[in-house]
């Protein structure tokens, strides 16, 4: 396993050097005693699970940054192992996670980054809203746990083989954790970046120290790209020419063949969408203490590619993608990239609309007030803005919205009934209930409601669930149906790709989306897509719109991402394993990595500063990620073809 040790180049600048130790290099880990010293996990099927508990009441990991546990795979086939770690007296949905793929007959160490629950208000005095901070601390309210009270680790095992046979042992905590102090931050981190937006207190082999380095990096990468041969048996769209060809429509379409779904490219060849999100020249804006508002990535592109930087950087990115094996520009990619007609792409449709008000909710993900008289107009107007894309054969289809907040099947009805009376969806739901029950007293008795009138009615009551489910289904059908109608009228040749559902446990949403969308899109941040459980009878193509594996030990970037690897080699391995599992799933027709570039060290607008890119903020690729992507692309269609042979 490779590791990065940041060296003290910053001593030249300030006498201060940042340290970020690799978890496997900690020579004095904290032993964590389990109730059973070794746990044997065996199952005759393709999955299994086990729960690790402390010998005493809890494990106190408050002084450490990582938890590590060894997995020995006694079987012949690889096993993916994912961990969910929870703590005593913490909300059940708060957890930290980790994952590792263990080859057959081998052992490996599964790492879990501990997201400490701390009072971090003072940190924002220096950096504002950021997700990752120096020293490994991460701000993520829905994942942070009290590290001194960890009391449960659930392990899930997935394999393509005939059985799971693993031994689990040597649980420990590694790397000393120290919460950042305001004094240290103010003294050493203002400003934290150099002129290229890089962490000035860390060093690594690929670090840019001058504009000359940027040009030299471009020359080296150009030479590297020329060493690769084009992928075999590929259409100009990235489809598979080595097998059966279907009727060509001139646009992308879906096809089910022998219970296996695929996309079909405009020339009629099978197509599986291997994509990367956010190819956007204008992304990368940040606010850096001591510097102010700026876009270091944009400045780096200008310096690297010269006077014609915009066209040159776009051209070079497409060259990269074709060599790497990427055949799709994912969500939030800009017209600079997709209008040149070199790589298929998807469109992100977002629009203003009246929403169902929700106290404390994220307004950008609030549920639309779908029964508002102007809702349909807002949807149609939004889609109408993409008339060029609607006729472009390079466009696969349109995503409409992203990660709407329906965590539960009954979320739409519950949110609407708890909304003010001027909410049109609430008004419609009240009408439906009045038609069903007639007078309020009958509903009150059926629900067990404490309200005394229709005006006071709110979601809740032991007998309300069936009605909340029915009303929510009305909302889903109104929402997805309106989006589908807008696509059929204004972009009839493009695929309606759904709304990028992130609450994949909401099987009602998945089922009804499948009734209207050409492809059901989901954002699935996990260590394997094998965790996806579709509803009974579900038969529709699925596209994964987002997943990634971040790190905190690479190129000085602090944010860990939504799923975390211990280093870039681990992240690349997880990418390859995740993609391979997706390719083997007969329903999945594509998966898109979020995102192309690392986020700025001091955070984008909402504070995300994750190390999640295929390239860093200086436009320098991560070779491990590139090589993993190329290997994945080389096996893609052979894997898909094998599904049709069984």
CA distance 474 to 472: 5
| pLDDT score of 218 more than 80 | yes
Angstrom distances, CA of residue 273 to CA of 123, 241, 247, 254, 363:
41, 15, 19, 12, 31
Structure confidence at residue 578 as a pLDDT band (50, 70, 90): very high
How would CATH label the architecture of 217-407+474-643?
Alpha-Beta Barrel (3.20)
pLDDT of the residue at 531:
97
Residue range 588-618, pLDDT digits in tens: 999 999 999 999 999 999 999 999 999 999 9
Structure confidence at residue 360 as a pLDDT band (50, 70, 90): confident
Query: CATH says 1-189 is which class?
Result: mainly beta
Locate all alpha helices (DSSP H) within 226-339, ordered by sequence: 296-305, 309-324, 335-338
Structure confidence at residue 120 as a pLDDT band (50, 70, 90): confident
Q: Please compute Rg for the chain using Cα positions.
A: 25
pLDDT of the residue at 128:
85
Peptide bond connecting 273 to the previous residue in cis, omega within 30 degrees of 0: no
Q: What is the DSSP letter of 577?
A: H
Worst-scoring range by mean pLDDT, 83-92, 473-482, 486-495?
83-92
Q: CB neighbours (10 Å) of residue 258?
A: 9
pLDDT of the residue at 8:
31
Two structure tokens written together for 257: 């063949």
Question: Which of residues 301 and 127 earns the better pLDDT score?
Answer: 301
Angstrom distances, CA of residue 148 to CA of 53, 122, 234, 330, 615:
14, 21, 53, 40, 36
| pLDDT score of 434 more than 80 | yes
Average of per-residue pLDDT values in the chain: 95
Matching residue, tokens 């799709």? 328
Two structure tokens written together for 312: 């040159």
pLDDT of the residue at 36:
94
Q: Helix 568-583 vs helix 623-645: angle between axes, to the nearest 10 degrees?
A: 20
Across 506-531, average pLDDT? 98
Across 173-182, average pLDDT? 92
Locate all alpha helices (DSSP H) within 59-152, ordered by sequence: 124-127
Across 622-638, average pLDDT? 98
Q: What percent of the chain has pLDDT over 70?
A: 97
Peptide bond connecting 353 to the previous residue in cis, omega within 30 degrees of 0: no
CA distance 621 to 607: 23
pLDDT of the residue at 644:
84
pLDDT of the residue at 305:
98
pLDDT of the residue at 16:
66
pLDDT of the residue at 15:
52
CA distance 634 to 274: 11
Give the number of C-alpha atoms closer than 13 A to the C-alpha of residue 223, restricted to the C-beta side: 5
Two structure tokens written together for 254: 């879906």
CA distance 336 to 224: 25
Per DSSP (E only), the strands in 310-392 are 328-329, 345-349
Domain ranges of the chain: 1-189, 217-407+474-643, 410-470
| pLDDT score of 5 more than 90 | no
Measured at the alpha carbon of residue 591, what is the angle toward residues 99 and 237, in degrees to the nearest 5? 145
- Is residue 587 within 8 A of residue 184, CB to CB? The reply is no
């Amino acid at each position: 396993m490779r590791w990065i040790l940041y060296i003290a180049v910053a001593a030249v600048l300030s006498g201060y050097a940042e340290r970020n130790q690799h978890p496997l290099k900690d020579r004095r880990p904290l032993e964590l005693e389990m109730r059973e010293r070794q746990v044997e996990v065996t199952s005759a099927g393709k999955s299994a699970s086990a729960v690790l508990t402390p010998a005493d009441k809890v494990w106190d990991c408050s002084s450490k940054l990582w938890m590590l546990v060894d997995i020995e795979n006694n079987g012949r086939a690889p096993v993916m192992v994912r961990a969910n770690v929870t703590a005593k007296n913490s909300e059940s949905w708060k957890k930290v996670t980790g994952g590792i793929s263990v080859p057959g007959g081998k052992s490996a160490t599964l790492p879990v980054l501990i997201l400490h629950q701390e009072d971090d208000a003072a940190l924002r005095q220096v950096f504002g809203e950021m997700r990752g901070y120096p020293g490994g601390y991460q701000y993520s309210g829905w994942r942070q746990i009290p590290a001194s009270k960890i009391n449960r680790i659930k392990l899930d095992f997935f394999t393509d083989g005939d059985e799971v046979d693993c031994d689990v042992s040597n649980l420990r905590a590694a790397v000393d954790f120290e919460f950042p102090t305001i004094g240290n931050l103010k003294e050493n981190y203002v400003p934290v970046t150099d002129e290229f937006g890089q962490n000035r207190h860390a060093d690594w082999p690929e670090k840019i120290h001058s504009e000359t380095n940027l040009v030299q990096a471009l020359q080296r990468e150009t030479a590297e790209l020329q060493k690769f041969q084009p992928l075999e048996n590929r259409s100009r769209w990235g489809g598979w020419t080595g097998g059966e060809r279907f009727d060509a429509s001139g646009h992308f379409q879906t096809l089910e063949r022998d219970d296996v779904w695929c996309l079909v490219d405009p020339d009629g060849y099978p197509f599986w969408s291997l994509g990367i999100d956010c190819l956007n020249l204008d992304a990368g804006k940040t606010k850096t203490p001591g510097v102010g508002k700026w876009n270091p990535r944009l400045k780096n592109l200008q310096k690297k590619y010269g006077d014609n930087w915009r066209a040159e950087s776009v051209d070079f990115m497409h060259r990269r993608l074709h060599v790497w094996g990427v055949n799709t520009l994912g969500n939030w990619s800009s017209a600079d990239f997709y209008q040149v007609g070199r790589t298929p792409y998807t469109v992100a449709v977002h629009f203003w609309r009246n929403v169902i008000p929700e106290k404390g909710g994220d307004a950008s993900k609030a549920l639309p007030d779908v029964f508002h008289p102007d809702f349909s107009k807002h949807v149609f107007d939004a889609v109408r803005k993409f008339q060029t894309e609607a006729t472009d054969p390079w466009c696969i289809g349109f995503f409409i919205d992203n990660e709407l907040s329906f965590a539960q099947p009954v979320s739409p009805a519950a949110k609407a009934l708890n909304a003010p009376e001027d909410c049109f969806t609430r008004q419609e739901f009240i009408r439906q209930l009045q038609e069903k029950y007639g007078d309020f007293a009958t509903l009150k008795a059926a629900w067990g409601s404490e309200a005394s009138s229709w005006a006071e009615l709110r979601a809740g009551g032991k007998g309300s669930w069936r009605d909340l489910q029915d009303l929510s289904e009305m909302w889903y059908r109104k929402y997805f149906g309106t989006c589908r109608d807008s696509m059929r009228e204004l972009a009839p040749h493009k695929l309606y790709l759904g709304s990028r559902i992130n609450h994949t446990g909401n099987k009602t949403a998945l089922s009804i989306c499948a009734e209207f969308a050409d492809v059901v899109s989901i954002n699935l941040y996990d260590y394997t897509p094998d965790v996806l459980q579709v509803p009974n009878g579900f038969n529709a193509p699925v596209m994964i719109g987002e997943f990634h594996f971040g790190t905190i030990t690479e190129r000085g970037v602090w944010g860990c991402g939504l799923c975390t690897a211990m280093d870039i080699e681990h992240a690349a391995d997880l990418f390859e394993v995740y993609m391979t599992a997706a390719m083997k799933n007969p329903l999945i027709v594509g998966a898109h990595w979020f995102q192309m570039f690392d986020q700025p060290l001091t955070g984008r607008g909402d504070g995300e500063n994750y190390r999640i890119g295929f390239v860093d903020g200086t436009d320098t690729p991560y070779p491990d990620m590139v090589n993993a992507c190329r290997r994945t692309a080389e096996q893609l269609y052979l894997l898909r073809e094998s599904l049709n042979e069984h």
